[in-house]
Structure 1
C-alpha cells in the first residue's frame, strides 16, 4: 500500500515521547512515521496490518514498529457501534535514536540495538516472558521524564536486543511513498472488506468501491498490498476464524459461516494453507499454550 506519512507532534525537549491513548477504537488509517514505535495494547482487540502481515491482536500484545514501516490497527466491528462503551487503550513509546547523535548507533556498545532497530523495520511482536516485562516497563516509562526516561528506554532496548522472544511479522521491507488520494482509496477498500468479510464479496464489489475496472483494480490492489484480493480476503477471514476458535463455544461449521465460508472443505483448506494447522490443531495448540502460561 502507499501509506500516509504520519508526523508525530512533539516538543524540542522530548527525545522519547510517550502517548497514552484511550479512544473508542484504534487509529485505523494506513500510515507510517520516521520514529520507531513500541506499542503496548492495554485494552481492546482487532486486526493488525503491519507491512504485509495481517493478524489478530488483543490486550497485552506488544509490537515494535520500525522507522517508516506502514501499519494500522483496526478494532473489532463492535467498537465502532454508536452506543458502544468499549475502549481501545494503548501506550506507545516513540523515539528516533538517530536524532540523538549521528554517530551514536555506530558505537560498538550499540551494535545489538542497531540490529534490533533494523529487524523492527519488518515489525516485531513480543512473546513469552518478554511480553510481560515490557508491558510493565511501558507503564513505568510513562511515569518518567527527561534523562531518566531516555536511560530507562536504553535499558529496555538492551533487553529486547538480546531476547529470543521477538517474532518478525512482515515478510518484506516496505518503501513508503505517500500519495493522499491513493491512501484514501485503499483505506476505503480495506474498510469495505473489514465490514463485509463475513458475507459474499466479489472482486467486482471491491473494484466498485475503488471506482476502478476489475482489471485495473486487480493490478492496483496487488501493487499496494503485495497480495491478490482473494489472498487478502482469505487472510482476514481465517484471522477471524482463529479468534472464534480461541473463544470456544462455536462449532466448526458456525465458525466457517461467521468467517464468510459456506463450504467447510474450502474453509479447512484455506485454514491449513494460511496457518499450517487444521482448525482442530490450532484450537488444541492454543489450549496447550494457554495452560502453560497459566
Structure 2
C-alpha cells in the first residue's frame, strides 16, 4: 500500500502558502508532504479526520496543526454541508531555523512544532477565534511585504500558548526524531520500539539508561506527560494500527504479536485510546480506500 506524496506549490523563496476555498466535499486522499500545515475547517460537521493512526469526527469548527510527514486527510463521511469552508496554511519547517527556535523565548513554539509530529487538535472555540486571522492572512498574502508573515507568526504564537489542545496520533507514527528529546529518552524509545512485542518491565527500561525505577518513572512522566505503562501501551497501539492497516492478520494475532496477552484488556485499551474497537478501525480504513 502506498500513501500519496503531495508536492505543494511552496518554493524555496516563499515563506508560506495559504488556500481559502468553499467546497461541498473532501476529495483529497490520505497524503504526506514535507511542510508543516495548519488546517481550518468550518461548516464541516460530520466529516472525519485521519491523522496517522487517529480517526475522528469533526464538529462545526476544526483546527489541526500537523507535520506533513505524518499521513493525514479529511473525508466527507456524514457531512451534509454544501458550503464547507477550508483554509490551509503550509510552510517549511525551516521557516524558523533551529538556532532561533531553540532560544528560550520560543520554548512554547518549539514544543508546538514537536507536537505537530503527532497532529495537534485545538478546541472549536480556538478554531473560531483564529479563523478571522487566517482569512486576513489569505486576503493580505498577495500584497507582499512582511505583514502577512508577521500575522502568521502571531497565529502560531497564539496556538503555542493555548492549553486547550490534544495530540492525535500514536508515538509510532511520528516519523522523525524529536530534536529536543534527550539522548536518554531516545534510548528509551528505541528500546521500547524494538521490544514492543515481548513483555517489558519498568526495571528493564530503566536499566537501559542506568536509572532507578523511581527516578525513571518521574523522568518518563515529565518527558511524555504519561506513565511508563501508558507510554508503552501507546507505542504498542501504534504498531497494532499499522498492522491492522497493512496486513491481513487477525486482530487476535496482531494483539499478541504486539505484546498484548489479554484480549479483553487489549480491546478495552484500544477503544479507550482510539474511540472505537479494532475491527471498526480496520473496516474504516479499508472502506475508505485511504491508501492509493
Determine whether 1:66 maps to 2:67.
yes
1:207 corresponding residue in structure 2: none
- Corresponding residue number in structure 2 for 1:140: 136
1:108 Cα offset (Å): 2.9
Asked if 1:34 is matched to 2:30, the reply is no
Please tell me the root mean square deviation across aligned C-alpha atoms, in Å.
3.7
2:165 & 2:171 partners in 1: Cα distance?
A: 17
Structure 1 100/227 Cα, relative in aligned 2: closer, same or farther at 3 Å?
A: farther
Selected match of 1:274 from 253, 271, 276: 271
Q: CA distance change for structure 1 residues 115 and 152 in 2, over 3 Å: closer, same or farther?
A: same
Q: 1:14 to 1:66 in 2, by over 3 A?
A: same
Query: Do structure 1's residue 56 and structure 2's residue 57 form an aligned pair?
Result: yes
Per the alignment, in what secondary structure is the counterpart of residue 14 of structure 1? Answer: coil
**Aligned mates of 2:111, 2:58 — CA distance in 1:** 25
How far residue 127 of structure 1 moved from its aligned partner, in angstroms, is: 1.2
User: Residues of 2 paired with 1:13 and 1:226: CA distance?
Assistant: 42
Q: Deviations over 1:85-134 (max 9, x none)?
A: 82433001111241454533233322221110000111111116423211
TM-score of the superposed pair, with normalisation by structure 1? 0.55
- Per-residue CA deviation, residues 1-25 of structure 1 (Å, 9 max, x unaligned), is 7522211113555311111133332
Deviation at 1:173, TM superposition (A): 4.2
2:120: which partner in 1? Answer: 124
Q: In structure 2, the residue corresponding to 1:103 is in which secondary structure?
A: helix
> Where do 4+ consecutive residues of structure 1 move more than 6 Å?
226-231, 270-273
1:91 aligns with 2:92: no
1:23 maps to: 23
- Alignment partners' CA distance in 2, 1:37 and 1:17: 10
2:71, 2:247 → 1: CA distance? Answer: 13
Whether 1:163 and 2:162 are equivalent positions in the alignment is: yes
**1:1-294, aligned counterparts within 5 Å?**
2-11=2-11, 13-44=13-44, 45-76=46-77, 86-99=82-95, 101=97, 103-127=99-123, 129-145=125-141, 146=144, 147-174=146-173, 222=243, 224=245, 274=271
Query: Equivalents in 2 of 1:136, 1:220: separation in Å?
Result: 36
Cα distance, 1:271 vs structure 2: 10
Aligned counterparts of 2:49 and 2:84: Cα–Cα separation in 1: 13
